[in-house]
Amino acid sequence: MLPEKLEKLIGQIGETGMFEVEKGAIKKYADSIGDRNPLYWDDEYARNSRYGAMIAPPGFFGWPTQWNTTMPFFSKFREKLVSASIEEGFDKLLDGGSEYDFIQPIRAGDILASMPKIIAIIEREGKSGVMLFSTLETTFINQHGVKVAKYRQTIIHRK
């Protein structure tokens, strides 16, 4: 049985974050991967492409418009899930994988709203005892109200 405190978190929606997809940030991201795709580097090339503008590499959603609790790796909402599981004794965390749906292109200059939601917490019996698999789904919507991507992150919680 899933502890009540964790059961209650399923379906909860976290605060909306705002992300700006800047050209410089796109280049910095592409450079760190070693990706020289002209769609991330060459303005004119990108303007003449089917996208009509520079685009973001898949998986890049820009940077928060303000310093706040939705900074990419310090989401208060994620912390809430993690601390609730630690309280129940699940204090070892593992990355359970990432999953993306790329729905529409993300272009330089876009402002994205991110909406995180806990879509699942599942209990499973593993070799080392009971484990929890929690999945946080973040939906990104651009300034035109278009859903551009969904990102699901699964965390494995062990005792």
Partner 1 sequence: MTQIYWENIEEGNEITPLEKKPTTQDLAKWAGASGDFNPLHYEDTFAKTQHMEGPIVHGQLKRAWLAQMLTDWIGEYGDLLKFSCQFRAVDYPCVMKDLFESTGDDNPLMCKGKVTKKYTDDGKNCLDCDIWIENAKGESGTLGKATVALPSKG
Which stretches of the chain bind partner 1, using CB under 8 A? Answer: 25, 28-29, 31-35, 37-39, 49-50, 57-59, 63, 71-73, 95-102
3-state DSSP: the chain helix, strand, coil percent, rounded to 5? 25, 40, 40
Which lies closer to partner 1 via its Cβ, residue 91 or residue 99?
Answer: 99
Residue 150: is it exposed, middle or buried by C-beta count within 10 angstroms (0-12/13-18/19+)? middle
Rounded to a whole number of angstroms, the minimum distance from the CB of residue 72 to partner 1 is 4
Rounded to a whole number of angstroms, the minimum distance from the CB of residue 96 to partner 1 is 7
Which lies closer to partner 1 via its Cβ, residue 12 or residue 98?
Answer: 98
Rounded to a whole number of angstroms, the minimum distance from the CB of residue 88 to partner 1 is 23
Please, how many CA atoms are within 13 Å of residue 32, restricted to the half-sphere of its CB? 7
Rounded to a whole number of angstroms, the minimum distance from the CB of residue 95 to partner 1 is 5
- Give the Cβ contact number of residue 124 at 10 Å: 9
Question: Rounded distance, CA 148 to CA 111, Å?
Answer: 11
Amino acid occupying residue 120: A
Which lies closer to partner 1 via its Cβ, residue 2 or residue 63?
Answer: 63
Running DSSP on this structure, what letter comes out for residue 56? P
Which lies closer to partner 1 via its Cβ, residue 3 or residue 150?
Answer: 150
